[in-house]
Amino acid sequence: MLIVSGIALVVLVIGPGAVLSKWYWGYWFSRPQPYSDIINATQITGFAPVHLNIDGKTGARSLVHSPQHTLHAQMQSRGREGGYYDLETRILAALLDRGHDWKLAPLLAPELMGQLHPLAAATGELDLRLFLQPMDPSILLRGYAMTVDSADGEQLLVMALRGGQVTNDHYPYYEFVYELKAGEQPALLDVNKFYYDVAGIEHMEWHTISKALLVPVIALVTFVSLICAIVRWVLRRRRKANHCSRCGYELRGLPHRTCPECGLDNDSLTAAASASR
- Verify that 129 and 224 share a domain, yes or no: no
- Verify that 269 and 161 share a domain, yes or no: no
The total of other beta-carbon atoms located within 10 Å of residue 158's CB is 23
d(CA 41, CA 98): 9
- The pLDDT tens digits of the residues spanning 232-262 come to 777 666 656 677 777 777 767 677 777 777 7
What would the mean pLDDT of 97-126 be, rounded to a whole number? 94
- Verify that 83 and 172 share a domain, yes or no: yes
d(CA 113, CA 62): 9
Question: b/e string for 109-119 if b means 16 or more Cβ within 10 A?
Answer: eeebbebbbeb
Domain extent at residue 266: 246-277
Backbone phi, psi, residue 161, to 5°: -135, 140
Q: Which helix (H) or strand (E) holds 170?
A: strand 170-180
- Verify that 67 and 183 share a domain, yes or no: yes
Domain count, the chain: 3
- Verify that 119 and 69 share a domain, yes or no: yes
pTM flag (> 0.85): no
Measured in whole angstroms, the distance separating CA 80 from the mean position of its chain's CA atoms is 21
- Does 274 score more than 60 pLDDT? no
- Verify that 181 and 153 share a domain, yes or no: yes
- The pLDDT tens digits of the residues spanning 63-98 come to 999 887 777 777 777 766 667 788 889 999 999 999
Q: What is residue 225's three-state secondary structure? A: helix
- Verify that 185 and 226 share a domain, yes or no: no
pLDDT at 171: 92
Task: Give the residue from 10, 3, 1, 29 showing the smallest Cα distance to 218.
Answer: 10
Residues 6+ apart with CB under 8 A from 110: none
- Verify that 56 and 121 share a domain, yes or no: yes
- The pLDDT tens digits of the residues spanning 20-41 come to 888 888 988 888 999 999 999 9
Of residues 53 and 247, more confidently modeled? 53
Task: Give the residue from 88, 86, 216, 215 showing the smallest Cα distance to 145.
Answer: 88
- Verify that 69 and 167 share a domain, yes or no: yes
- Verify that 38 and 147 share a domain, yes or no: yes
